[in-house]
Structure 1
C-alpha cells in the first residue's frame, strides 16, 4: 500500500510540475506560433530521458552567429564602427593619416571616398585599429568603446542593441543543459571582453576570426601578448565548420545564423545524426530594426534562405515572431 501511495504521489508531482512548466514561458518575447513551438518541442525531445531523440548533456552543443543573429549589424558591422572610431582616436599619433588614404577619408567623414578604397582600404583600417598593441590594451579599448559609443540611428550603446528574444533563447537552452557558443566572422579579441556580461557566454566559448599574437617581454621581464597585423584565421562561411571542429571539438545539434556566411555552419550541424535544429533570423522589421535579405551588402541572406526553405530549417520572421526586438 505504501508503495502505491508513493507511486501516486510521484505521478501527481510530475503532473503538477509539468503543468507549472507549461504555464511558465521561458521565451516571453517570442510570439506564440510555429517557430517558437518548434524550439520548445526540440528541446523537450532531446532532454527527455527515454525519448528516442534524447541527447546526453555533454553533447548538447548550440552555436550562434553574432552579427545579425544575436545583435544588430546595420548600417555597418559594429566592429567596423569600432575600427573607424579607433582610427580617429589614434590620429594624433599618426599625423601622416591626415593626407593618406584611406585614413584621410575616415578622419574627414568622407564615406564616399572611403568606399572607393574598396576591400583593400577596409583591411588597412581594420589592421591599423586592431594591431600594434597588447591584448590587454586592446581589450581595454573595446570596453571603453562599448561604454561610450552610440549607434547612429538608435542612439544607444551598441551592446544594448542585442536581441531580447535571443537572450531568452540562450538562457532557455542553458537551463536545459546546453552549452552555448558564439561562432562568428567577427574578431575573437573584439567579442571576448563583453560577451559574458551581455550574453552569459564565457570568453572561452567564443569562436571568431583572429590575428596572430606574439609573446614579448618588457625590460622588467613582464610578459604580454602583442597583436600583430597578420591574419591567422577567418571564421566565416566554410571557415565556421573548421572553427567548430578546431575549437569546440563536437558537432552542434542546434545552430542559428542569419546570412549566407552561416550556411556552412548550418549544413555542418544538419549533417550529424539524430535530432538537429537549424535556424535563421530573417530581418523583416524596418520599423523596429531593419528589413533586408537577398540584396544587402551587410548580412546578405540569399542561398541560405533557399536552402532553409528546401530543407525545412526554421526561419524566424523578426516582424511576426518577435514581440520586442531590443531589451
Structure 2
C-alpha cells in the first residue's frame, strides 16, 4: 500500500526536479535575442579553407621572426602577443617600435581579426594580408627599409627558402613579399576564439550566470548594440568618436586615409570579444580600465551617464566574451 502511495509522489518530485533544471522562459527569450542580435562566432575565418598546414606553419614562424625588423628586436608577436594566455596584444597604451619610439595608436588584438570588415583603426588595409605588409616597413615599428631587404634576409636564411617552396609548391619564385604576408595572414586566421557567451547562444543556458544575463540586458537597454552588434560585437563599421559628446583627440582617424572632411574622428568600431583581456582601451590607449571605458562610451557615444551599478553589470557581461582558453 505504501509503495502504491509513494511511487506517484516520488515520480512527481522527480518531474519537478527535472523541470527546475531547465532554463526559465526569461533565459530562453534572452538566448533568442542573443542569437538574433549577436550570433555565435563561426568556427573558421573567411579564407581559411585554402590554408594548408605548410602555409600556416610558415606563417607561424614568420609571426615570431625578429629578422623582420631592422635591428632584429621586434616580431609581429612583440605587439600582438599570442603566447600562453595572452590575448593578442601587449597591454600597453601604445607600443614601442624596434628603436624604442612608440606608435600613435593602441595595438588592437589579432584574435578574430580576420572577421573584421577592414584592418587598422582607420581601415587602411582591406584584409589580414594587406595588414601584415604594413608594420614590417613602417619606420616607427619594424623599420625595414624595403621589401627587397626583407626578401634578402629571408633568402639568406637556411630554412626559409625551403619552407616557402613547401607552402607555395606551384610557384617558380615562392619567396615574395606577397607570399610572406599571405603566410602570416594564414597563421592569424587560426585565432578564432570561443567564449561562454557563444555557448549561451548555442543553447547552454548555464554557461553564463544570472548576474551575467542581467548584464547582457543592461548592455541591450543602454543601446550599446547600435555600434557593437553582429557576431564580433563590433568590427563591422566606422563611427565618430564623440558622436554625442565631444571626445578630445588630435587623431583624425579615417580622414587621414580618405581626406574627406566628413570622415574626421571616425574610427573602426572595435570588437568587444576578449575586451576584458585587451586593455588599455580606445584608439589612443588612454583609458586604463574596462569600467571607465564603458562609462566613457556611454557618455560620448550615447549621451548617457551610466550609474556605477549599471556599468558593473555591463562589465560583468563583457567578461563572458573572453576566449575560454585565455581566462585565468
Do the structures match in fold with TM over 0.5? no
Greater Rg, structure 1 or structure 2?
Answer: 2
Which structure has more strand as a fraction of its residues? 1
TM-score when normalising by structure 1: 0.30
TM-score when normalising by structure 2: 0.29
